[in-house]
Amino acid sequence: MNQTQPMAWDEEVQETFLREAADRLGEVEHGLLTLEQCRHAPDPDLLGTIFRAAHSLKAAANLLEYRQIESLTHKLENILEAFRTARLAPDPDNVTVLLETVDKLRELTENPADSENRDIAAHLAMLDAVSGG
């Protein structure tokens, strides 16, 4: 963040990020739980909603330079895009990995200033295993 901004601005930005992160992660989680219950082809609107929520979180993390949050959300977003384009099936195992990632992102966004000191290697590896990357 810009070091010349007043402290109150920083606090306001942080509070906004915390609220928005909680909201976006709630949207992703709700969407994934709904997706998990689908017995037919996934609803494109549902996938779009989940994708946009993840994208918004990734963009906010990038803006505030929370690289761990950004990296994890980027991989989550890539898998959601693979679901949207039918390159990857949103089967129960894949959705479970994404839900576990949402849990990790919640942990990271509860204290974003400390997120760079947290280990996300296992979650990145799980996401890579799902995406084949």
- Residue 63: which of 118, 15, 8, 2 has the closest Cα? 2
What letter does residue 74 receive in the DSSP assignment?
H
**Residue-level pLDDT at 4:** 46
Domain-located, residue 101: yes
**What's the domain count of the chain?**
1
Q: Residue 64 — left, alpha, or beta (φ > 0 → left; ψ -120 to 50 → alpha)?
A: alpha
Domain-located, residue 2: no
Domain with 63 in it: 7-131
133 is written with which tokens?
A: 């990357």
The answer to whether the beta carbons of residues 51 and 59 sit under 8 Å apart is no
8 to 34, 54, 109: CA distances (angstroms): 39, 27, 20
Q: Which CATH number covers residue 53?
A: 1.20.120.160
Tokens 């402290």: give the residue: 7
pLDDT band at 8 (very low <50, low <70, confident <90, very high): low
The pTM assigned to this predicted structure is 0.89
pLDDT tens across 56-100, in order? 999 999 999 999 999 999 999 999 999 999 999 999 999 999 999
**Residue-level pLDDT at 49:** 96
Cα–Cα distance measured from residue 23 to residue 7, given in angstroms and rounded to the nearest whole number: 24
